[in-house]
Amino acid sequence: MGTKILPIILCGGSGTRLWPLSRTYAPKQLQSLTNEKSLLANTVLRLQSGPDCLAPVLICGRSYVDEIENQLEHEGAVVSTLITEPKGRDTAAAAAIAAHWGAKFQATHPTDDVILLLLPSDHHISNIAAFHAAIGDAAKAAMCGYISTIGITPHAPETGFGYINRAAEPIAGLASYPVIQFVEKPDKVSAHGYLRSGDYLWNAGMFAFRPNVFLDELLNQSPEIARRAESAFRDADLSERPGRCSRLNLKSTSFLKIPSLSVDYAVMEKTKKACVLPAEFGWNDVGSWAAAHEIAETDEKGNALVGDVIAMDSRNSFIKSHNKLIAAVDVDDLIVVDTQNAILVCPKTSSQKVKNLHAQLSAMNHPSAYHSGVGTRAHRKVVEEKVRSWLFDTALPFWGETGIDRINGGSYEAVDFFGKPLEDLNKRTLVQARQTYVFAHSFVLGHRQSKESMAEPLEFLIRYGQQSPGRFAHKLTPEGQVFDSKFDTYDHAFILFALAWAYQVTGEPSLLKTAEDTMEFILTDLRHPHGGFREDLSSTNGLRRANPHMHLFEAALAWMELHEHERMSELAKELYDLFHTKFWKSGLLREFFLDDLSLPTQTDDPVRLAIEPGHFYEWAYLLNEYEKLTGRTSLAPAVLEAFADRYGHDRTNGLVVDHTKINGEHFTPTSSRLWPQTEFVRLKISHNDPREEAEALSAIETFMSKFFTFNGSMPGYWRDKVSSNGVNLVDRSPASSFYHILGCFEPILK
């Protein structure tokens, strides 16, 4: 019988103080700072040299797991298991999952005493022998029933580290000391006092414990975390892979219910079983570029020069080149870091401020905060996971349950910002059609419950909205009585679009019959003598819009692609030609037209003469889709996109604005609705270009933060419109926006 140490490496975080080498989606632990191996690879390799250390377990974000495994295999760094988190929940949750894994491992190895060693993935250690000696001493304390942390003997009054106040005398028979107190990062005066006292150690975030001891203490000190973590561990999927390390995939539905708290707060500051081992093994948490300079090889003048660098008459500087020569003359105490799409230059004494710089770039939604300029697989996986979780686990269940009127039928028009349906609002057939589409397409994407949800708005639409074959009223009362009998082209475009998807899901002949009746009504009764289609059946004068024609074009494309419908192919060609001859004027898409489709010269409402960047992106996407189906090419999509990219975004927050003047000037005040953001994303992703995709992924995270988030959570509904400074401008969440949201998320999920 022997003692075996099972290392659990926490591989989370992004290390934003090491920007621009480390980014949100290119985290610190996967980067090489001064040698050819990453910090993570070095961590695993140094553990392999310990005689009592088993192959470690890594706990990491699901988005990075493939990159991590490939990198470690390339470096010959062996791990036994990869535990993947759908999203970080701080170190208490990770430690709890690790303890459950350790308890399971202990049960299958009864002849050994298993001690878990919990440690970060991104620290530098220069004295490997001393490191393993410290691990052995910490394991001895753990064998005696303590939760042992390893504290680093301080050599400077650092204010960037937490501290541990130890007792004056060690525990009998051990090298470890009882913990008196964990101390937050101190001010400079306090840090000097800690250093002088000799009773304070730097908190290195390393812990050794028996699995059952930790789990018992977690239950005593933080029972909610303990219960939720146990449930998440039981719910996880284990994948054994012959010849490769196993994977334990934690599920969002259970893991994200664990309260987010550090292991210090959840256990160590409360337990009576905490002890600390003073150690010194050349430890550096590499928390800044100044710290990176400390571990780097330097020349006789104290310069760390990495890559193609020449430093003349320069001292004590860290200079890292990416793909070009960097020549420095007469610089002192400077940090210069060159990467593919960003360069950092700062005094070494200001290196801690880099984290604030990264935060500012993130607030600006600057791509360089997230990646190195060409997008990353990790970024795509992060956003895909976030989108899938929100859509499948939150939004679709919410609108399929709370968003359905179980008394009168159909979908509600809107909910308030507490998620309560606005039951007294009349129901537009447009909304019933859009929700039918959302659930139908979601079913095709793999959300099986959506087929049942689709039936509710579809049945209400046909039973109450259809007044005669193919003719649908504009608006109904909550109970289904006709409130507005107008036969509107915009409505019928969406009804035709929804029927294409509903027929795709069900194959019901009756839906095809309804769709063809609707086609007949549109193509015969709603035709306009001057070309195109009327606003509605009763309209004879007044302005006409390009927008209903765009959505008829979209419906025709759906019937072409899903069902190869010949009549709709003809309609798509007609609308494609109409766009180029009437709606696209001097390189701009215009919104409103006179009866003969000429442009109005004046109007009481200046917005009628404005342009909408969101529609530029929407038309460009649809025209590109038409090209894919038919081979017909046009310059229009590129021109529309270029104008919207140049003039269509709020310079304050990066969002697509609702309107601009024809010269690109913005209206004051500026506002941004949700739907133009989704159309921007959909178009950018459709290009299959890494840079465009990176821009789209960043935009998704921005609008999910600004439009989907309420008090720190995303409950499945959204804001519809915000001002330039982020003030909400509409007091409800309209169901109609879901159509746009799904349209931009679909290419990420399929």
643-702 pLDDT per residue, tens? 999 999 998 888 999 999 999 999 999 999 999 999 999 999 999 888 788 889 889 988
pLDDT tens-digit readout, 104-132: 999 998 888 999 999 999 899 999 999 99
CB 237 within 8 A of CB 251: yes
The rounded mean pLDDT for the chain is 92
Percent of the chain with pLDDT over 90: 76
Query: 536-553 burial, b if ≥16 CB within 10 A, otherwise e?
Result: beebeeeebbbbbbbbbb
pLDDT at 55 over 60: yes
From its phi and psi, is residue 357 left (phi > 0), alpha (psi between -120 and 50) or beta?
alpha
pLDDT in tens, 703-712: 999 999 998 8
pLDDT tens digits for range 295-331? 889 999 999 999 899 999 999 999 999 889 999 999 9
Exposed (0-12), middle (13-18) or buried (19+): which is 161, by Cβ within 10 Å? buried
Please choose, from the candidates 747, 140, 743, 691, the residue with its C-alpha nearest in 3D space to the C-alpha of residue 374.
Answer: 691
pLDDT tens-digit series, residues 166-216: 999 999 999 999 999 999 999 999 999 999 999 999 999 999 999 999 999
Structure token digits, residue 5: 């140490």
C-alpha pair distances (Å), 218 with each of 88, 223, 545: 19, 6, 63
pLDDT confidence of residue 125: 92
pLDDT tens track for 453-506: 999 999 999 999 999 999 999 999 999 999 999 999 999 999 999 999 999 999
In the block, which residue shows the tokens 């759906």? 558
Tell me the three state secondary structure of residue 596.
Answer: coil
pLDDT tens track for 538-589: 876 789 999 999 999 999 999 999 999 999 999 999 999 999 999 999 889 9
Q: Which pLDDT score is estimated for 70?
A: 87
pLDDT, position 319:
95
pLDDT at 23 over 60: yes
Q: Please give the pLDDT value at position 540.
A: 67
Model confidence at 376, pLDDT cuts 50, 70, 90, reads: low
- Which range, of 236-245, 247-256, 439-448, 574-583, averages the lowest pLDDT? 236-245
CATH number of 2-287: 3.90.550.10
Provide the residue ranges of all domains of the chain, joining segments of one domain with +: 2-287, 292-369, 377-749
Q: What is the CATH number of domain 377-749?
A: 1.50.10.10
| 499-536 confidence digits (pLDDT tens) | 999 999 999 999 999 999 999 999 999 999 999 999 99
Q: What is the 3-state secondary structure (H, E, C) of 92-148?
A: HHHHHHHHHHHHHHHHHCCCEEEEEEEEECCCEECCHHHHHHHHHHHHHHHHCCCEE
